[in-house]
Amino acid sequence: MRLELTERWLTPDGLHRRERLIASGFQGAWREILKGFPGADALGPQVGDLRGIDLTQVELPGAEWVHVRLDGARLDDCGLYEARLDFATLSGASLSWARLDRASLMACVAMDTCWDDASLEGAVLTASNLVRGSFRRARLQGARLTAATLMKADLRCANLRGAELSCCDMEEACVAGVLSDRPRTYAQAGLGNADVRYYQEYGGYPSFMDALLLDPGPRALRWLDRRELVLHVEAAVEMSPGVDAEILALFRETHPIFHKLAVVAMLIGGARPEPLAALWDLIDRGSGACPQLTIAALLLDPGFEAAARSRLKAPDELRHDAASSLMWALGLDQSNNVWERPGESTCRRWMANLRKHMAASIQKRWRRAEVSVYSA
């Protein structure tokens, strides 16, 4: 959206018009207030031009916004109970924490729109274009999404209980952690011949089942080369009632796939003493995920350097990839290393993909390791 469409609302004229619009409650002939406003006349008198407006925390129950242009608008924490937004355009708008219960948004266009934490209980979004929308933790109980397009939408941890989803296009949508009336089914187990029900009921990490069984599944943990997997683990960490207990349960499994998954969860959710101790114990015992475990220790453990150096004093007690990974993390020269260097190459590639796919807000929480490899 063009910057001038937002800046026009910050002029004395724009601020005055905004106050009049709010006072009208967007009822009746409120479009008359926009006559002569920059950009509004080009859309015609029947289309209300509210592009770029900021109505954060404004209460507007029952607002009449049929055919209104709200591209790039700020409607965060806005009260829009039973509002009418049929055929409206909300592309690029932000409606986080907005309250749109029983609102009508039939055939609206809302591409790349943020609905995170919004309440849309009983709302009607029939035939709406919601491509690439973000609905994280949104409450959509009883909403009607018949024939809506949710392609590539982010629905992580959204509540869709009682929602009508017939003929809804959800191709490539991220649905990890979605709450629904229907039992979760998976196209493929992703764990060979593993009994999915066993892992769900007895594995001790129920929040991570989507990360394990939704595409791209555990195979993406080898190099962490698919962002979708990181999104699934973010949802698991967010929805877990006891994330440390679930991480410890993953660490107790013998297959390194589970250890790698636990590492991603720790990097997202942080590391407390007990999971950190379990991580170091796996390095000592020789997990097949030593490079990934080393990266997590490097980024999360303030005492990493001392712990790593103490282990390298007795290298014969470590797996080759564990010793190589610890040397890489400390920035030590491995040109004359008597051990092979499989850990080093894995660490470099995994770290690069970690930087590429993990959210910047998460990376800011990691320890600022004063070693040359940190920015590798």
DSSP per residue over 239-288, as a string?
Answer: H-SSHHHHHHHHHHSSSHHHHHHHHHHHHHH---HHHHHHHHHHHHHT-T
Quote the CA–CA distance of 376 and 370 in Å, as a whole number: 12
- Residue 29 CB coordination number (10 Å): 7
Banded model confidence at residue 92, pLDDT cuts 50, 70, 90: very high
pLDDT at 160 over 70: yes
Element (H, E) at 236: helix 227-239
The predicted pLDDT at position 44 comes to 79
> pLDDT value at position 343?
80
Would you put residue 57 in left (φ > 0), alpha (ψ -120 to 50) or beta?
left
pLDDT value at 338 more than 60: no
| Model confidence at 330: pLDDT above 80 | yes
More confident residue, 174 or 368: 174
From residue 175, give the alpha-carbon distance in Å to each of 21, 160, 253, 260.
38, 11, 26, 21
- Could you give the percent of the chain with pLDDT greater than 70? 91
Q: What is the mean pLDDT of residues 218-247?
A: 95
Q: Which residues pair with 104 in a beta bridge?
A: 84, 124
Instruction: Please check whether residue 287 is in contact with residue 279, taking contact to mean a CB–CB distance below 8 angstroms.
Output: no
**C-beta separation of 37 from 17 below 8 A:** yes
Is residue 375 very low, low, confident or very high in pLDDT (cuts 50, 70, 90)?
very low
Q: For tokens 């039973």, what's the residue?
A: 82
Q: Does 120 or 222 have the greater pLDDT score?
A: 120
376 pLDDT more than 80: no
Mean pLDDT of 322-328: 90
Kindly indicate the confidence band of residue 165, based on its pLDDT and cuts at 50, 70 and 90.
very high
Q: Is pLDDT of 374 > 80?
A: no
Q: Supply the pLDDT for residue 48.
A: 92
What digits encode the pLDDT tens for the residues 168-200? 999 999 999 999 988 777 765 444 435 566 677
Question: How does pLDDT run across 273-324, given as a tens digit for each residue?
Answer: 999 999 999 999 999 999 999 999 999 999 999 999 999 987 677 888 888 8
Integer Cα distance of 319 and 76 in angstroms:
52
Contact 373, 331 (CB under 8 A): yes
H or E element: which one contains 211? helix 209-213
